[in-house]
């Protein structure tokens, strides 16, 4: 049975690197029909804090990474939090001591440090000098009598070599001399990472481990410990770090420190998921966008790249925009709702075919992240609109503009424009689906209300009757109605704004 795990330490929120590690382990488990486990590695008591757990869980869930066994969902091989497994580590330590694969060390931290310095001065690696490795019984008794408490160290067999058949890096070997007699269990009974990790990978029957290459050195210690326990280690894949755009270590400025920041900025989870997948793996030479099903049909740990991939926020933004464009209208409206709080009342979201669906629909191709929406659609609410400098300029540079705006307001009085939101305009919005495709005939839809193409047709006739070029006429009108010079089709905007507001704004600009 294939079993993979993600084993975060609760020392902070889920960051980009952690999310990628989780994603690859999840994808490998799913692709192989295996089990995905979440395990909390909280034995570093100084750095761990349970307050991070809900954020980590939420980050994973937001990305759609679900675990089959874990602290909250339970499972047959729990508990899944290391601090709840201390008796197990004590048992393993005892067994390793008895079998001669570990030894008790009575050195104080100062003595360990002094030993390291001596090793360094002698031109050797600054490691523990192994002074407790072969302690005579009398010496041990003396240290115990002094009241010293033992930590338990791994007894690295000397000489020898250890090899990892790494699924990403290939075969890598080091000599045992390079490996410290590392501490497995502290005097207070709390295990160190490498020890708890091996005991748990063994007990939880983990078959594959995908993790960052900073853990390669730990991998050697872990493989040796599996050997001491007479067990087979999991298959390891130590994957390259995520790099910044310049090819150096990814900086905090470039990527978020909490994956949920992307949610709060309005990136779609599927897009972030898709993008993270590509930080070390590729779907095919010519496709970057794919569904989860397509990913799982293809994903294999063996295909994770050997060289570091660069994080590129531009590409993530592009991908988010691509996902936004392809959302069904109703999903898009639902996803937008949290970003429009305070601007749009919640009940307006009840129907994706109503006013809001039409308004947002005009922006679906124009935003990359949903947080852009509020600023872009704000013009459509409120009786008045503030004109930006460019918009003001469009009115000021045409000597006749104010007269046109006043006359156009008079003219629109007699057209069946829909009423302004929040009046009930559902009949109008149900009849026309915006944005209006170019070239739509004015009478394409039978409705008592004038739709965008009829409004455009009518405006052309209005300008022509006054001998004004349509191109010159539309700029001041857009400025007066929306306060800006950019945006969706002008007559989509006029339709959305509705009669009362359109007239009020045209008149305000005509006299302003």
Q: x/- binding map, residues 188-207, to ligand GLU, per CB under 6 A?
A: ---------x----------
Give 283's Cβ-side CA count (13 Å radius).
Answer: 18
Among 8, 10, 70, 418, binds ligand GLU (CB under 6 A): 8
Alpha-carbon dihedral sign for residues 117, 120, 121, 122: positive
Q: DSSP of 391-449, one letter per residue?
A: HHHHHHT-TTHHHHHHHHHHHHHTS-PPPPTTS--HHHHHH--SSPPTT--TTSS--SS
Please report how close the Cβ of residue 116 comes to ligand GLU at its closest, in angstroms.
24
| Rg value, the chain, Cα | 33
Nearer to ligand GLU among residue 7 and residue 37 (C-beta): 7
Alpha helices in 122-163 (DSSP H): 137-145
Q: Is the peptide bond before 435 cis (omega within 30 degrees of 0)?
A: yes
Phi, psi of 483 (to 5 degrees): 80, 0
- Give the binding range for ligand GLU (CB under 6 A) out of 2-10, 171-179, 372-380, 383-391: 2-10
- Contact status, residue 353 vs residue 340, Cβ threshold 8 Å: no
Q: x/- binding map, residues 22-61, to ligand GLU, per CB under 6 A?
A: -------------------x--------------------
Nearer to ligand GLU among residue 233 and residue 357 (C-beta): 233
Rounded to whole angstroms, the Cα distance separating 237 from 235 reads 7
Identify the active-site residue in 149, 169, 221, 252.
Answer: 252
Among 3, 4, 7, 179, binds ligand GLU (CB under 6 A): 7
Question: Residue written as tokens 């809001």?
Answer: 356
Nearer to ligand GLU among residue 197 and residue 369 (C-beta): 197
Instruction: Classify residue 287 by its DSSP letter.
Output: B
How far, CA to CA in Å, does 20 sit from each of 60, 211, 259, 277, 453?
10, 9, 10, 7, 48
Please report how close the Cβ of residue 204 comes to ligand GLU at its closest, in angstroms.
12
Q: x/- binding map, residues 404-423, to ligand GLU, per CB under 6 A?
A: --------------------
By CB under 6 A, is residue 216 in contact with ligand GLU?
no
Nearer to ligand GLU among residue 232 and residue 426 (C-beta): 232
Parallel, antiparallel, or unpaired for β 151-154 and 183-185? Answer: antiparallel
How far, CA to CA in Å, does 119 sit from each of 112, 128, 174, 183?
11, 8, 19, 18
Please report how close the Cβ of residue 137 comes to ligand GLU at its closest, in angstroms.
37
Catalytic-residue membership of 252? yes
By CB under 6 A, is residue 208 in contact with ligand GLU?
no
By CB under 6 A, is residue 65 in contact with ligand GLU?
no
Give how many residues touch ligand GLU by CB under 6 A: 8
Nearer to ligand GLU among residue 7 and residue 477 (C-beta): 7
By CB under 6 A, is residue 9 in contact with ligand GLU?
yes
Looking at the annotation, which residues are catalytic? 252
Binding site for ligand GLU (CB under 6 A): 7-9, 41, 197, 209, 211, 215
């Amino acid at each position: 049975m294939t079993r993979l795990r993600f084993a975060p330490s609760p020392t902070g929120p889920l960051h980009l690197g952690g999310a990628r590690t989780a994603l690859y382990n999840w994808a490998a488990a799913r692709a192989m029909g295996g089990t995905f486990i979440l395990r909390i590695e909280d034995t570093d008591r100084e750095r761990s804090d349970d307050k991070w757990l809900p954020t980590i869980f939420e980050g994973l869930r937001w990305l759609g990474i679900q675990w089959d066994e874990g602290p909250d969902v339970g499972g047959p091989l729990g508990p899944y939090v290391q601090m709840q497994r201390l008796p197990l580590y004590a048992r393993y330590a005892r067994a390793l001591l008895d079998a001669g694969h570990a030894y008790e060390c009575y050195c104080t931290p100062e003595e360990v440090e002094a030993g390291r310095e001596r090793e360094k001065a002698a031109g050797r690696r600054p490691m523990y000098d192994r002074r407790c490795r072969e302690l005579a019984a009398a010496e041990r008794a003396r240290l115990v009598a002094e009241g010293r408490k033992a930590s338990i160290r791994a007894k690295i067999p000397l000489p020898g070599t250890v090899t990892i058949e790494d699924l990403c890096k290939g075969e890598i070997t080091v000599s045992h001399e390079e490996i410290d007699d590392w501490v497995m269990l502290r005097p207070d009974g709390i295990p160190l990472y490498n020890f708890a990790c091996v005991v748990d990978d063994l007990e939880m029957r983990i078959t594959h481990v995908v993790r960052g290459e900073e853990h390669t050195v730990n991998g050697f210690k872990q493989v040796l410990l599996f050997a001491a326990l007479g067990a087979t280690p999991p298959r390891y894949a130590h994957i390259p770090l995520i790099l910044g755009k310049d090819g150096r270590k990814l900086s905090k400025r470039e990527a978020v420190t909490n994956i949920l920041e992307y949610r709060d900025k309005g990136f779609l989870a599927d897009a972030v998921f898709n993008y993270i997948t590509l930080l070390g793996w590729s779907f095919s030479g010519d496709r970057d966008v794919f569904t989860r099903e397509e990913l799982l049909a293809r994903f294999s740990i063996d295909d994770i790249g050997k060289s570091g991939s660069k994080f590129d926020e531009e590409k993530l933004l592009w991908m988010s925009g691509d996902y936004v464009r392809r959302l069904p209208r109703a999903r898009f409206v639902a996803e937008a709702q949290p970003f429009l709080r305070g601007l749009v009342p919640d009940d307006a979201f009840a129907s994706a075919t109503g006013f809001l669906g039409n308004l947002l629909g005009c922006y679906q191709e124009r935003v990359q992240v949903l947080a852009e929406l509020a600023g872009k659609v704000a013009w459509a609410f409120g009786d008045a609109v503030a004109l930006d400098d460019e918009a003001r300029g469009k009115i000021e540079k045409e000597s006749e503009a104010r007269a046109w705006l006043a006359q156009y307001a008079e003219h629109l009085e007699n057209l069946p424009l829909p009423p302004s939101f929040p009046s009930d305009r559902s009949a109008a919005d149900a009849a026309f689906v915006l944005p209006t495709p170019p070239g739509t005939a004015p009478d394409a839809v039978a409705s008592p209300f004038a739709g965008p193409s009829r409004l455009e047709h009518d405006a052309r006739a209005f300008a022509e009757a006054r001998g004004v070029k349509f191109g010159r006429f539309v700029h001041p009108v857009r400025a007066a109605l929306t306060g800006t010079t950019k945006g969706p089709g002008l007559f989509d905007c006029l339709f959305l704004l509705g009669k009362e507001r359109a007239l009020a704004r045209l008149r305000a600009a005509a006299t302003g």
